[in-house]
Each structure stands twice: as C-alpha cells, then as structure tokens.
Amino acid sequence: MINNNYVEALKKSGYKITPQRLAVIDFISANPGHFTADQVFREIKKREPTVTLATVYNIFRAMKSSGIIQSFEVNGSMIYESNNIPHANFICTSCGSIRDYPADGQEFLNLAKTDGSVVQSVDIVIKGLCPKCASEKSVRTHSIRSIKREKS
Ligand SMILES: [Zn+2]
Ligand SMILES: [Zn+2]
C-alpha cells in the first residue's frame, strides 16, 4: 500500500511520478522506520534495475523538505526515517538497530534561544546497547568469567 502523503509531497515539489520514484515510495511505505539512501537503493534495484542512487537521494530530499520524513547524521552517514514526530533516536553500537523514544527536544530549543540563536533543527542521538545486545554482552562477560574461574 503506497503512502499517498509521499506521492503528494513529490508532486508538490514538482516531481513527476515515474516508475522509479514510485518504487522508492512503495518501498518506504512498506518498510517504515530508519533507512539510508544506499540501503533503499540496493533493495529497489532488485526489482527496478533502472533506479539510480541519485533518484533515491532526490526523492528523500523532496520528502524531507515537505516535512514528511526527517533525517539525522550518525558517523558520517545520513539516516532517514518515516517517523516525523520529534523524538530521540537510540542507536545500538553493537547491532546498529535504531529505536525511537519520545522526546520533543523542547529544552534544547529553549536553551539555544536564550542568547538569541536561531535553531534550525534538534537531533537527539543516544548511543548504547539495545536490550538484546546488552543481555548478550552480560551473558558473554559472565561465561568468560566462569571459564576463567574453572581454569584457576
Ligand atoms: Zn543491539
Ligand atoms: Zn527515529
């Protein structure tokens, strides 16, 4: 099911709806969440070989300027996401998964405004271990400890 807001956003930005662009919209409609242009490009290329990475970037740029997707940068790569409500992104440094936590960033906005600065965007990125990796790490540390204990 194609998200019509995405189609409308592209039309508003003056884009014609081509099969390649439709394939991009179709993919992110079906796979909402966090994604990079490169990831989406590789997936779409499988069924729409004429799509280019530039097409994906252009569509993301148009959708971002329409405010229906947002993006933030982590370790030099731009991550786009379909959740356009302000929130904090928790990135697992072990498996790379990204989780959303409610946070509007209002206190950061207010902080920056106190000296007359003009805020353009607030990205809240938290890095750590997701529950799954955190429990795996503790299991691993635990088993290493017990092996050591057995040896001594
Ligand atoms: Zn993880
Ligand atoms: Zn997010």
pLDDT, tens only, 30-72:
999 999 999 999 999 998 999 999 999 998 998 898 888 999 9
**Distance from the CA of 36 to the center of ligand 2, in angstroms?**
12
pLDDT of 145 over the 90 cut: no
Q: Give the closest residue to 105 by CA, choosing from 84, 121, 82.
A: 121
- In this structure, how many other beta carbons lie within 10 angstroms of the beta carbon of residue 149? 8
Can you tell me whether residue 102 is helix, strand or coil? Answer: strand
Q: What is the rounded average pLDDT of the residues 128-147?
A: 80
- Closest ligand relative to 135 C-alpha: 1
Amino acid identity at 63? M
pLDDT at 146: 58
Mapped onto helix, strand or coil, the DSSP state of residue 36 is coil
Token pair listed for 96: 């790379």
- pLDDT for residue 79: 96
pLDDT of residue 1: 80
Q: Of the bound ligands, which one is closest to the alpha carbon of residue 94? A: 1
Q: What is the pTM of this model?
A: 0.80
Residue 120 or 151, more confident: 120
User: Number of folded domains in the chain?
Assistant: 1
What is the CATH number for 123? 1.10.10.10
- Per the model's pLDDT, the better-predicted residue between 9 and 92 turns out to be 92
Q: Is 106 exposed, middle or buried (0-12, 13-18, 19+ CB in 10 A)?
A: exposed
- The ligand minimizing its distance to the Cα of 98 is 2
Distance 135 CA to ligand 1 centre (A): 9
How does residue 144 score in pLDDT terms, banded at 50, 70 and 90? low
What domain range is 38 assigned to?
4-151
Nearest ligand to the CA atom of 71: 2
Please state, in angstroms and rounded to a whole number, the distance separating the CA atoms of residues 92 and 98: 6
CA 99: distance to chain centroid? 9
- Separation of alpha carbons 27 and 1, rounded Å: 9
pLDDT digits (tens, 9 = 90+) for 76-112: 999 999 998 889 999 999 999 999 999 988 888 888 8
Q: What is the CA radius of gyration of the chain?
A: 20
**Among the listed ranges 91-100, 109-118, 134-143, which one has the minimum average pLDDT value?**
134-143
How large is the average pLDDT for residues 110-135?
Answer: 89
Distance 109 CA to ligand 1 centre (A): 30
Ligand 2: centre distance to CA 123 (Å): 10
